[in-house]
Amino acid sequence: MKIQRINKACNYFPCHKELEDCTFCYCPLYPCRNKKLGKFIYSRKRKKNIWSCQDCAWIHKAAVVDTIFRLIRKNQTKIKSKASYNTLRKQYKLKDVGIIILGHGSRLHKATLVMQDIVDALKERLETDFILPASMQLSQPDLARSIKKLIKRNCKHIIIVPLFLFNGNHVRRDIPEMLKQEAVRYPAVKFICTNNLSADMRITDIVLDRIEEAAGEFGNQRTPKNRSKKF
């Protein structure tokens, strides 16, 4: 049976140029905040900036829709198991759970902004504000300070996620030693440190994206900002 990709009966057809597929009338990734696909514009009606992707037809590409459905089928078990912060607390019978995303740290302000972006995205996904960043060195807040903040908010269970690719000295030695000290300082609080990122195959998806971006720039004379560097 032939798949009907285009809905010509829609009052808004065609809503985009190069329209190939109407499966996702509204983009499930909105607002993606990808500056290559859209931008923020001021809405007089709402009196604030809103994300506009009126010129983006990415979600209406047949290949994109097929890829999304393929990924959904492949990861349906994982998708169904995803839980919000409150569901996690109920499922594991935990009260007042705090989460710390622990990175290496840097003196560069842009590096701290990247960490904050990751934390903000996790807050949105888990629907909680009980997630804080922390750095091993060079920048603040450090691990001890973030732990103290969560405990002041009555967190009795704190999960530390090391944002490290390799299982080096920080992961094997420094972080466990720091958490032992914190456990002594706060005996009523339970600390759990997750595994580091390691060789998780999902990282390959990011690497492939970067390779694809770079490959597409070989024919360009100018490199877009925040993309690959040409030498």
Q: Are 186 and 211 in contact (CB under 8 A)?
A: no
φ, ψ of residue 7 to 5 degrees: the values are -105, 90
Number of DSSP helices (H) and strands (E) in the chain, helices first: 8, 6
pLDDT single digits (tens) 101-140: 998 888 888 878 888 888 988 888 787 889 999 998 888 8
Query: What pLDDT, on a 0 to 100 scale, did the predictor assign at position 68?
Result: 87
Q: What's the pTM? A: 0.58
Q: Are 60 and 44 in contact (CB under 8 A)?
A: no
Domains of the chain with bracketed CATH: 12-82 (no CATH), 83-193 (3.40.50.1400)
| Higher local confidence (pLDDT), 146 or 204 | 146
Please report which confidence band the pLDDT of residue 191 belongs to, taking 50, 70 and 90 as the band edges.
Answer: very high
> Which residues, in sequence order, are CB contacts of 153 under 8 Å at separation 6+?
96, 98, 130
The pLDDT of residue 194 is above 80: yes
CA distance 18 to 209: 23
